[in-house]
Amino acid sequence: MSEVIEWLFECRKVFPKLDKFAIEGTYASLSYKLLGRMKGTAVSFTDIDAARLLLEGIADKKRSIKSENKFQIEVNQNLQKIEPPELRKQVVQHVLLHELMHIDYQDHVVSAKSYSRRKRKKFHTKEFEEKIHEKYNQIRKTQGLPEIPDAENVHLAVNKIASKFLK
């Protein structure tokens, strides 16, 4: 079992709602601007009120988007170069938590909508980052590591370490 999958299982413990989803994790060749990304499929289908159409001649179409329960999280393969492994684990787990939070918030379903219907939604809000920080501290607690009080400092530290290897 690869280290990403192992760390993904540890991260999933703080997301009990995601137990029904099949989530894979791998290292992948990504742009130097990306630490990680989540791939999921959203299926859209159109439903029509057939009885009303045939009887009254009025078609009520309802377009709905539903998520499949399969996801893949890809982590930038350049993060494998981070030494020591304990530091790499902390950086990769922060990336995994970020992507798991997107799955939890069902952002892939929102982004599957037409642009005119989704442009008002911001994905990376202060609340989103605070939730990631909260989950990150929960994982650190289970590993016997001290909590980090400031979310912004964690974000800066992860980006500083990752930027050394993403060139």
pLDDT tens by residue, 55-95: 887 877 777 766 677 889 999 999 999 999 999 999 999 99
DSSP E strands in the chain: the ranges are 22-28, 36-48, 61-76
Residue 107 in this model has a pLDDT that exceeds 90: no
Q: Where are the domains of the chain?
A: 3-41+69-163
Residue 114 in this model has a pLDDT that exceeds 60: no
Residue 153 in this model has a pLDDT that exceeds 80: yes
Contact assessment for residue 72 and residue 24, using Cβ atoms and an 8 Å cutoff: yes
Mean confidence (pLDDT) of the chain: 84
Give the separation between CA 118 and CA 52, rounded to whole angstroms.
30
Write down the CATH superfamily of domain 3-41+69-163.
Answer: Metalloproteases ("zincins"), catalytic domain (3.30.2010.10)
pLDDT of the residue at 141: 93
Task: Average the pLDDT over each of 96-100, 123-127, 128-132, 147-151 and give the range with the smallest value.
Answer: 123-127
Residue 121 in this model has a pLDDT that exceeds 60: no
> Which residues does 77 contact at the CB level (< 8 Å), separation at least 6?
27, 28, 29, 30
User: Confidence class of residue 7 from pLDDT cuts 50, 70 and 90?
Assistant: very high
- Is the whole-model pTM more than 0.85? no
